[in-house]
Structure 1
């Protein structure tokens, strides 16, 4: 799982570099072409092309794709204009928001401890975003919107049956994302594609696929309760890449807010595991 998080952080860092050379939608479009090629190879090798999908899965797949595309545009748009560590830290609130959304929209039971954990976690988010202060900007809001859209994607993914494989659903999202980027090219700059830009894009797409494969391997081999906390290692990698590549160093408030988000997120995972174990025992 740490390999997966290192891959995702590397992809974010490479895309941030690409945005310095290419137009926003140009970069996403070109990365999408490489991603589609690589994912298609994986899907073909795994014999996971499915043209007959149930009506319910089609709805969930559509919602998942909307969430995936929206989150990608919002997060990468923010990433191009704000420090890598700050954007990544805000995204770590996703588990807290998923718990909140599952309680509100799916009727899942959430005890007072997890409600308190969610509330404290949001305090950590506010410490990073700092509304009303000089550091606050529209890019922080865009990252928060990305969090909401990731939650939509993950909740829709949770409702998908095994009929729609992970590789196939990722391929669908990549195709739609690339088409949307193509349609939006007229509102973006189009710069000459030099060897450096092409290498960065190819590397970003390849690393993204590796992250996806590492994630599947971790989820299949390891216990979810054990590997889930390692997701937060992405923040360490993002801080490292931000410092080494972009000379970005998180301030004290960002570090404290990140620590609060991670602590409350880990506690929420712990409580959910206990709740799940209790239900399994009683069943």
Structure 2
């Protein structure tokens, strides 16, 4: 498959804007967790996203009913989206915003490794070193060997893995696949799993007292960030735009402190600094190579 035409600067701007949209949606999801279960939150996100993207695709003149939706590449993307969404919702329910944001910043590292292994992209030993430093930062945040290890921190790891796989599959989708149409297929594939989750949890099908302002806000900003992310990855090489995901960490750190009174520990801040530093170094190396 042939990637779309590349425009690195446009891709970078779109990525930062996407991370801002996701950060706002993340904050609203965490606020909504006070009145809704993770399963209900996921249902609202998938259902709302399906309506938004389907309406946008039809407005753009796209035909939604097509066997193309069942191509193996797209099926892989649906699985990655389900994994990433479930991981993020559970992360935002049980883990501090600052910790979630810090771990998600390692997604570009996983994406670059995946691009090297599966898309044939080449990077120098310096980039490999930066990737290693970034993973050390993740270990500092997770602290797997610590006596006070909190297993809920594994949910951001699940989200990170799903998002990385989603980005890789997005990068190699055919140029003719409209972004809104692709998002519609993804939301439609994920919706039954949200319903299954609610059924297994033996919960009511709809939340008892949802805050609809939060629901519409998290769906709207999530949809905006989603479309901008797809556009960013299609506009430039994965290894160029992915490091700019670190901007999401800045947004979430500020939101966590202002809205939830979070005070990240020294290990979390140090680990986040290593992850961001590895991303900044990767950006510098990309510019030097260019």
Aligned partner of 1:78 among 72, 81, 91: 91
Shift of 1:162: 1.2
Aligned partner of 1:47 among 58, 61, 65: 61
Alpha-carbon distance in 1 for matches of 2:274, 2:232:
26
Listed as ranges, the matches of 1:53-202 within 5 Å are: 58-188=71-201, 189-190=203-204, 192-194=207-209, 197-202=211-216
Query: Mean Cα displacement is larger for which, 2-11 or 225-234?
Result: 225-234
Q: Deviations over 1:74-128 (max 9, x none)?
A: 1211221110110111011111111112223344323211111111111111111
Q: CA RMSD in A?
A: 2.8
**Matched pairs, number:** 274
Q: Deviations over 1:241-266 (max 9, x none)?
A: 11122221211111111111011112
Alpha-carbon distance in 1 for matches of 2:72, 2:172:
10
Counterpart in the other structure of 1:12 = 26
Shift of 1:173: 1.1
Aligned partner of 2:264 among 250, 258, 263: 250
Alpha-carbon distance in 2 for matches of 1:226, 1:101:
14
Shift of 1:72: 0.8
Counterpart in the other structure of 2:3 = none
Alpha-carbon distance in 2 for matches of 1:200, 1:24:
14
Aligned partner of 2:274 among 237, 260, 268: 260
Structure 1's 265 and 135: CA in aligned 2 closer, same or farther, altered over 3 A? farther
Alpha-carbon distance in 2 for matches of 1:9, 1:92:
12
Shift of 1:179: 1.7
Query: Mean Cα displacement is larger for which, 61-70 or 242-251?
Result: 242-251
Shift of 1:54: 5.7
Aligned partner of 2:248 among 224, 234, 252: 234
Structure 1's 85 and 98: CA in aligned 2 closer, same or farther, altered over 3 A? same
Shift of 1:228: 5.9
1:29 and 2:43 aligned: yes
Structure 1's 105 and 162: CA in aligned 2 closer, same or farther, altered over 3 A? closer
8 Å Cα contact 1:120/1:264 also seen in 2:
yes
Query: Mean Cα displacement is larger for which, 262-271 or 21-30?
Result: 262-271
8 Å Cα contact 1:93/1:122 also seen in 2:
yes
- Structure 2: gaps of 5 or more residues: 1-13
Q: Deviations over 1:194-234 (max 9, x none)?
A: 2x522211111011123235556777999999976543221
Structure 1's 171 and 113: CA in aligned 2 closer, same or farther, altered over 3 A? same
- Structure 1: gaps of 5 or more residues: 278-283
